[in-house]
Amino acid sequence: MIQKILVLSKLSGAQDICLLEVKMRLEWLKGPFNSVFTKLIAVMLISGSLLVMGISAISWHGFRENQRNFFRNNLAQYGAYLVRDLEENLNLEHARELSQRLFLIIRYEGENETWETGSGIPPLQKIHFRKWMGKSSDPGFRLLVQPLRPLVTDLRFGRFHRQGVAIVETKTGRFIFAEIKDEWHGIRFALPWIFSVLGLVGLVLTGTWLILRKILQPLNWLSDGVSALGEGNLEHRLPEKRGDELGNLAKAFNRMSERIREMLSARERLLLDVSHELRSPLTRMKVALEFIPEDASRESLLDDVQEMEQMVTEILETARLKSEYGQLNLQKTDLVKLIQDICITFEGQTPGIRFENVPETCQTFADAEQIETVLKNLLANALKYSPAENAPVEIRLKKSDAGTLIEIQDHGPGIQDEELDLIFEPFYRTDKSRNNKTGGYGLGLSLCKTIIEAHGGTIDVQSNTGKGAMFSLHLPKSPSTI
């Protein structure tokens, strides 16, 4: 019994190995066909083959049709009319009828008369004629000439500058048939075939374009994903429906997006956790400093503690506004009075603040405390980096149909062009114009941007190095704006 089980297990193991080997072979065979380059090459080869076969078929059909029409419509009719019509009704009027119908010039040279239906017959001595009479092995002879042998004594054909000429000798005279030279005849004949070829090429190219578009569709998905990622949408994912290089690229992009989202989430959680944990020690430090005698060291420590407390507050406030649970306390606010009150808090600081073109009132629904935080941050920065001997910091308030615009212009060192897109990032500080003596952790402008965007507005900056910078706050017109 045990021996039988061992034999069965061996057989089962061998079958598994065989199945695994077959599966590996199938996977190996599928590998090349999962390559986007293989697909493109296959599409191009198939398209090229279809074009070659189609054009060849149309060209061959056109050649055969042309050949068939030439022999049937011309040579056959020459003999037929020569035997049945011209010999029975030999006159110029009848010949002209045939000439117009067959697009031919007909000349007759007989014993008693000679006439022709029109000019245009080339010089016969310059034409190399091919004699058909007597070539019984020629299919054309058997088809056309042999039935007419009782009347036709000689039959020759030639061409002169693409103009066909036939000489038919009969017992009563000689007939000369020449094609009416028509420059457009070849074009008229070729037009249907040209349009057929163009139609086939267009059809094949359209099919090729549709197939390539389907193959390269993941590139459009990737472009949309990159745009969404650039706009901060870390939840955007690409479809993972393909097994080729583009499908692998989509999977790699999704993994990258997920990794970036996790890293940013971890950083935000760390900042929030650290900020929450720092509030209690900072509070205890402030209480402890109250029991220290007043001196320079105490004031320095108190300033440091207050600066750290402000940093923690800004971090937590930024996180609150970005959270789905963070809400603004919108109230009817007079921006003119708010700005005037803020300017009073900066009295005595050089080079001063000038509130220009003050309107009587500018009321809107906004979170007054948050807007005050933004304006204080911007005005404090403007005063901090403006030399005392420079012109005062200018603040302007404008109201229009589009909304409300607040501009704050300083005359300090300005901001480098390469740093304009970075100053609103958390913890970013410009190294050239701002150092540790100026204070700050690079959170103020980030908080300003978050607050303005929470109001549905935008904040922009324009700078001229060495001449100052101007921050523009755009608050949109909405149903809540008065």
* Same-domain check for residues 336 and 314: no
Q: Which of 170, 187, 204 is the last residue of a domain?
A: 187
> Please, which pLDDT band fits residue 146 given cuts at 50, 70 and 90?
low
pLDDT value for 115: 87
* Same-domain check for residues 300 and 183: no
237 part of a folded domain? no
> Please, which pLDDT band fits residue 147 given cuts at 50, 70 and 90?
low
Tell me how far apart the alpha carbons of residues 289 and 59 are, in angstroms, rounded to a whole number: 100
Name which residue leads in pLDDT, 397 or 245.
397
Name which residue leads in pLDDT, 472 or 276.
472
pLDDT of 471 > 90? The answer is yes
Q: Is 107 helix (H, G, I), strand (E, B) or coil?
A: strand
Give the pair of three-digit tokens for residue 422: 């970075």
pLDDT value for 474: 92
* Same-domain check for residues 269 and 392: no
345 part of a folded domain? yes
pLDDT value for 2: 41
* Same-domain check for residues 280 and 255: yes
Name which residue leads in pLDDT, 475 or 71.
475
Name which residue leads in pLDDT, 394 or 271.
394
- CATH number at 273 reads 1.10.287.130
In this prediction, what percent of the chain has a pLDDT beyond 70? 72
* Same-domain check for residues 343 and 469: yes
pLDDT value for 206: 80
Q: Where are the alpha helices (DSSP H) in 323-393?
A: 335-345, 368-384
Spatial CA neighbour of 178 closest among 189, 194, 167: 167
Query: pLDDT per residue over 420-437, tens digit each?
Result: 888 888 777 765 444 545
pLDDT value for 375: 92
* Same-domain check for residues 296 and 343: no
**How high does pLDDT run on average in the chain?**
75
* Same-domain check for residues 314 and 352: no
C-alpha triplet 254, 259, 260: angle, nearest 5°:
100
Query: pLDDT per residue over 333-357, tens digit each?
Result: 889 999 999 999 998 888 999 988 7
Amino acid at 252: A
Whole domain around residue 23: which residue ranges? Answer: 1-33
Name which residue leads in pLDDT, 375 or 269.
375
* Same-domain check for residues 94 and 23: no
223 part of a folded domain? no
* Same-domain check for residues 288 and 341: no
Total domains present in the chain: 4
* Same-domain check for residues 304 and 344: no
61 part of a folded domain? no
pLDDT, average across residues 403-411: 90
* Same-domain check for residues 303 and 284: yes
Which of 135-149, 270-284, 351-365 has the largest mean confidence?
351-365
230 part of a folded domain? no
pLDDT value for 187: 58
72 part of a folded domain? no
58 part of a folded domain? no
Q: pTM of the full predicted structure?
A: 0.48
pLDDT value for 479: 43
pLDDT of 80 > 50? The answer is no
Give one DSSP letter per residue of 436-460, joined into a string.
GGG---S-HHHHHHHHHHHTT-EEE
> Please, which pLDDT band fits residue 325 given cuts at 50, 70 and 90?
low
* Same-domain check for residues 341 and 460: yes
Query: pLDDT per residue over 35-56, tens digit each?
Result: 666 677 777 777 777 777 777 6
**φ/ψ (deg, to 5) at 162:** 65, 10
Q: Which of 292, 319, 346 is the last residue of a domain?
A: 319
469 part of a folded domain? yes
